[in-house]
Chains A and B, each alone.
Chain A
Amino acid sequence: MSHAESAAAYAEARQQVEQRWRTAFESSAIGIAMADFAGRFFAANSVFRNMLGYTESELYQLTFLDVTYEEDRKANQELVRELVEGKRQHFQMEKRYCRKDGALVWVCNNVALVPGMGGVAPFWFAVVEDITQRKEEESAHRYTQEKYRLVVETASDAVISLDETSTILLANPATTRVFGYDPVELIGKPLVILMPEFLRKLHDAGFKRYVATGQRHINWQGTELTGLRKNGQEFPVEVSFGELTKDGHRVFTGFIRDISERKQAEEMRKQTQKAIQTTQAELARVSRHTTMGELAASIAHEVNQPLTAVNNNSNACLRLLANQNLQPDVLRRALEEIVADGTRASAIIARIRAFIKKAPTEKNRLDVNEVIGEVLAMMGHGFEENRILLQSELAEALPPVLGDRVQLQQVLLNLIMNGVEAMTAIIDRPRLLWVQSRIDESGDVLIAVRDSGTGLDLEADRVFTPFFTTKANGMGMGLSISRSLIEAHGGRLWATPNVPHGAVFSFTLPVDTESPS
Chain B
Amino acid sequence: MTRAFVVFVVDDDPSVRSSLKFLLSSVGLQVESFESAETFLQRKPPDAPSCLVLDVRLRGLSGLDFQRELAARDIRIPIVFVTGHGDIPMSVRAMKAGAIEFLTKPYRDQDLLDAVRVALERDRARREQEKDLTDLRQRFESLTPREQEVISMVVSGMLNKQIAGELGTAENTVKVHRSRAMEKMNAQSFADLVRMIEKLKGSAEKAS
Residues of A whose CB lies within 8 Å of any CB of B are 297, 300-302, 304-313, 315-317, 319-320, 334, 337, 340-341, 344, 473, 475
Contact = CB atoms under 8 A, between A and B. Distances in A.
B16 interface: yes
A302 B106 CA distance: 11
A337 B15 contact: yes
Interface of B: 13, 15-16, 18-20, 22-23, 25-27, 57, 82, 84-85, 87-88, 104-107, 109
Given A300-B85, A301-B57, A309 B27 contact: no
Contacts of B27: 319
B105 A340 contact: no
A319 to B, nearest CB: 4
A308 B26 contact: no
A305 B15 contact: yes
B15 A341 contact: yes
A308 B13 CA distance: 10
A473 B88 contact: yes
13 contacts: A300-B84, A301-B57, A305-B105, A308-B105, A313-B19, A313-B23, A316-B19, A317-B26, A320-B26, A337-B19, A340-B15, A341-B19, A473-B87
A308 B57 contact: no
Contacts of B20: 312
A309 B15 contact: yes
B6 to A, nearest CB: 18
With most chain B CB atoms within 10 A of its CB, the pick from A300, A311, A340 is: A311
A334 B105 CA distance: 19
B3 to A, nearest CB: 15
Contacts of A317: 26
A311 B16 CA distance: 10
A344 B15 contact: yes
Nearest to A330: B22
A312 B16 contact: yes
A61 to B, nearest CB: 117
Given A311-B109, A315-B23, A306 B15 contact: yes
Contacts of B88: 473
Nearest to A320: B26
Contacts of B23: 312-313, 315-316, 319
A304 B26 CA distance: 22
A330 to B, nearest CB: 8
A29 to B, nearest CB: 110
Nearest to B26: A316
A316 B23 CA distance: 4
5 closest Cβ contacts across the A-B interface? A312-B19, A301-B84, A315-B109, A316-B26, A309-B15
A212 B150 CA distance: 118
Contacts of A340: 15
Contacts of B13: 305, 309
Given A301-B57, A306-B15, A319-B26, 12 more contacts: A304-B104, A305-B84, A308-B82, A308-B84, A308-B107, A312-B19, A312-B20, A312-B109, A313-B22, A315-B23, A319-B27, A475-B85
B128 to A, nearest CB: 28
A458 to B, nearest CB: 26
Contacts of A320: 26
A308 B19 contact: yes
With most chain B CB atoms within 10 A of its CB, the pick from A300, A308, A313, A319 is: A308
Contacts of A311: 19, 106-107, 109
A311 B108 CA distance: 8
With most chain A CB atoms within 10 A of its CB, the pick from B25, B26, B57 is: B26
A301 B82 CA distance: 11
A255 B19 CA distance: 87
With most chain B CB atoms within 10 A of its CB, the pick from A305, A312, A315 is: A312
Given A316-B26, A319-B26, A320-B26, A304 B105 contact: yes
